[in-house]
């Protein structure tokens, strides 16, 4: 079995070493233009030339959860696209989102500002019941985040394309459930895949439907959020703040107003990182299953876009 590796923003050597150790029978090489045809690929945001030159691939393993960068390309018809299925990401996402929600709810930024000035002062505790958290996307990551927030006894709402049942979470689905979901949420967390249906989903109209004092946490993709609409609603006081991990252009350009906005916390697309050894173990397991003719989890439905 031949495997080609083409990942634009990962140092290749540790991946190649890890893949060779996990798949001792396979011939694994770094892709370069003109490389010989392979059976399988391990990729992250490869150039179009990669697929143009590898039309025979049986499957391409994406070393991330989101496949929006891949689906922008012209892909060979028979190549299965397989995404990472958790591989250590959901626990990171749960800790990141819980941290952002709790930091806002418990007013830790304000406490920090006070204590830096030597002030020993208390704020009136806010009621958890007044902080319903709505999670858009109840997939591998969203469901884990929803359960983690429910553990802290926040009222948790979830929204997905198809109907779901998650313990401790009030679930809404489809376009018909969206208005009610927004009206039931004060903190809004985006964990949707980026598709034609979800691009710009957080805009002036939808964000205005959140409960008063709304707070936005975007950990999915920058293009889910209309930047200027968020800024306008923060500046007119309709929204209380935002934690943003993902941006339309990454790295976030130095002149972008998000960097210095007092109500926005920026992190550099780090909420759930790809973990190399977990990812390699998962890819090796799925490759072995595919070789045995079995189906695997995480195969992307190209028509749906995720
Ligand atoms: P997933 O398992 O595919 O789950 C996607 C969820 O979104 C599903 O619940 C799906 O509904 C729902 N959904 C899709 N289209 C929808 C629509 N039009 N309306 C309502 N709900 C819709 O994905 P995941 O593994 O949880 O990952 C989600 C995204 O997180 C990724 O695509 C990626 O962009 C992002 N991500 C970011 C980071 C980071 O570091 N910031 C790390 C990893 C992933 P159904 O359940 O009905 O299908
Ligand atoms: C990261 O953003 C991923 O999609 O895995």
pLDDT in tens, 75-125: 999 999 999 999 999 999 999 999 999 999 999 999 999 999 999 999 999
In-domain check, residue 305: no
In-domain check, residue 303: no
User: Both 40 and 111 in a single domain?
Assistant: no
The answer to whether the beta carbons of residues 57 and 79 sit under 8 Å apart is: yes
Q: In what order do the strands lie in the sheet with 264-266?
A: 169-173, 156-160, 133-136, 187-190, 214-218, 239-244, 264-266
User: Both 141 and 62 in a single domain?
Assistant: no
User: Both 103 and 210 in a single domain?
Assistant: yes
The answer to whether the beta carbons of residues 263 and 241 sit under 8 Å apart is: yes
Question: H or E element: which one contains 264?
Answer: strand 264-266
pLDDT at 10: 83
**Tokens at 29, concatenated:** 């090489």
Exposed, middle or buried: residue 186 (CB in 10 Å: 0-12, 13-18, 19+)? Answer: buried
The answer to whether the beta carbons of residues 37 and 54 sit under 8 Å apart is: yes
pTM: 0.98
For 261-272, write each residue's pLDDT tens digit: 999 999 999 999
Taking CA atoms only, the protein residue closest to ligand 1 atom 18 is 197
Which ligand 2 atom is at minimum distance from the Cα of 64? 5
**Nearest Cα residue to 245 out of 274, 263, 275, 271:** 271
Instruction: Give the angle subtended at the CA of 135 by the CAs of 131 and 136, to the nearest 5°.
Output: 140
- Ligand nearest the Cα of residue 96 is 1
**Ligand 1 near 222 CB (within 6 A):** no
Per-block mean pLDDT, blocks of 10 residues, the chain (306 long): 93 96 96 97 97 98 97 96 98 98 98 98 96 98 98 98 98 98 98 98 98 98 98 98 98 98 98 97 97 96 96
User: Both 93 and 79 in a single domain?
Assistant: no
Count of structural domains within the chain: 2
In-domain check, residue 298: no
In-domain check, residue 299: no
Look up 256 and say whether it is catalytic.
no
Give the CB-side neighbour count of residue 200, counting CA atoms within 13 A: 6
- Ligand nearest the Cα of residue 306 is 1
User: Both 78 and 93 in a single domain?
Assistant: no
**Ligand 1 near 92 CB (within 6 A):** no
User: Both 239 and 99 in a single domain?
Assistant: yes
- List 269, 276, 292, 302, catalytic entry: 269
User: Both 82 and 202 in a single domain?
Assistant: no
User: Both 147 and 45 in a single domain?
Assistant: no
* Distance of CA 65 from the midpoint of ligand 2 (Å): 5
In-domain check, residue 79: yes
**Ligand 1 near 162 CB (within 6 A):** yes
In-domain check, residue 114: yes
Give the CB-side neighbour count of residue 209, counting CA atoms within 13 A: 13
User: Both 133 and 240 in a single domain?
Assistant: yes
User: Both 137 and 229 in a single domain?
Assistant: yes
**Ligand 1 near 220 CB (within 6 A):** yes
User: Both 111 and 196 in a single domain?
Assistant: yes
Main-chain dihedrals φ then ψ at residue 5, nearest 5 degrees? -115, 125
pLDDT at 269: 98
Q: Residue 254 belongs to what domain range?
A: 89-266
Beta pairing, strands 214-218 & 80-82: unpaired
- Ligand nearest the Cα of residue 63 is 2
pLDDT at 58: 97
User: Both 131 and 63 in a single domain?
Assistant: no
CATH of the domain at 12: 3.40.50.720
* Distance of CA 29 from the midpoint of ligand 1 (Å): 31
In-domain check, residue 217: yes
In-domain check, residue 301: no
pLDDT at 47: 97
């Amino acid at each position: 079995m031949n495997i080609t590796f083409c990942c634009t923003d990962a140092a290749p050597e540790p991946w190649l070493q890890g893949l060779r150790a996990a798949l001792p029978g396979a011939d694994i090489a770094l892709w370069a233009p003109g490389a010989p045809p392979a059976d399988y690929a391990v990729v992250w945001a490869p150039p179009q030339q990669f697929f143009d030159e590898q039309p025979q691939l049986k499957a391409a393993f994406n070393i991330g959860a989101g496949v929006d960068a891949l689906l922008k390309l012209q892909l060979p018809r028979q190549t299965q696209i397989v995404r990472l299925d958790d591989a250590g990401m959901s626990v990171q996402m749960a800790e990141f989102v819980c941290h952002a929600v709790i930091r806002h709810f418990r007013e830790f930024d304000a406490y920090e500002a006070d204590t830096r000035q030597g002030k020993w002062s208390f704020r009136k505790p806010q009621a958890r019941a007044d902080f319903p958290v709505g999670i858009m996307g109840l997939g591998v990551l969203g469901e884990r985040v929803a359960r983690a927030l429910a553990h802290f006894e926040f009222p948790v709402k979830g929204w997905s394309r198809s109907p779901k049942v998650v313990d401790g979470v009030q679930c809404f689905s489809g376009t018909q459930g969206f208005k009610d979901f927004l009206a039931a949420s004060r903190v809004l967390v985006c964990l949707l895949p980026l598709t034609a249906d979800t691009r710009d989903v957080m805009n002036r109209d939808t964000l205005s439907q959140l409960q008063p004092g709304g707070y936005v946490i975007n950990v999915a993709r920058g293009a889910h959020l209309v930047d200027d609409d968020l800024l306008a609603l923060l500046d007119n006081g309709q929204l209380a703040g935002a934690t943003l991990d993902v941006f339309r252009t990454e790295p976030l350009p130095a002149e972008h107003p998000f960097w210095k906005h007092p109500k926005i916390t920026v992190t550099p697309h780090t909420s759930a990182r790809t973990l190399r050894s977990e990812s390699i173990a998962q890819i090796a397991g799925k490759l072995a299953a595919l070789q045995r003719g079995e189906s695997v989890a995480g195969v992307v439905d190209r028509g749906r876009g995720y």
